[in-house]
Structure 1
Amino acid sequence: SPEKPKQPAKALSGAWRKDAQPDGGEGLRVAPGAGAMTKEEAYKILGLEAGAAAADIRKAHRRLMQRLHPDIGGTSFLAARINEAKDVLLSNHN
């Protein structure tokens, strides 16, 4: 089983500061040129080690969404990053 992350929410917070900027509306947008998320970034966001099993990816995604979903006080940006991380990693398991 992959080692549990020390602070995946902190990694997301750093991603938010690095990639997002106010757009004058209600949401945030990714900075121009940020590009697609890498597998390394996805593992870091979900707090997983490289090579994690699909079940561990889904479990980490669910755990983070329970804490950071916009409906319970998180932001749309963070939820989108968590979803993207899950999608990037699971696309390699199918």
Structure 2
Amino acid sequence: MSEAEQSVPEYYVDAVQISTGVYGVALTFGLNPPHPTGPHGTVPKDLCVLRMSLEHAKVLAMLLRAQLKEYERENGEIPLPPSLYTSLGIAREDWGF
């Protein structure tokens, strides 16, 4: 492993919080506990905050969508539970189905 590869942190995340303002976007990536307890849900452990301009965030969203759509063309739809769409306030059709 090269010195550059060793100095770049790598994370697995399963939680994200997104905030936007007039000057940019902040993405806080986190990890949920492996065995959540209690009726009120759990708070993920924050691992990193990524900040970028609104323009950069828009380009990133377009590139990520293109990559995922290409993956689905080659491998089939990535399934998501209907309750997820409802909880996020988005429609399955927003993805292009």
Could you tell me the TM-score, scaled by structure 1's length? 0.30
Which one has the bigger strand percentage?
A: 2
Tell which has more relative contact order, 1 or 2 (C-alpha 8 A, sep 6+). Answer: 1
In terms of Rg, which structure is larger? 2
Structure with greater helix percent:
1
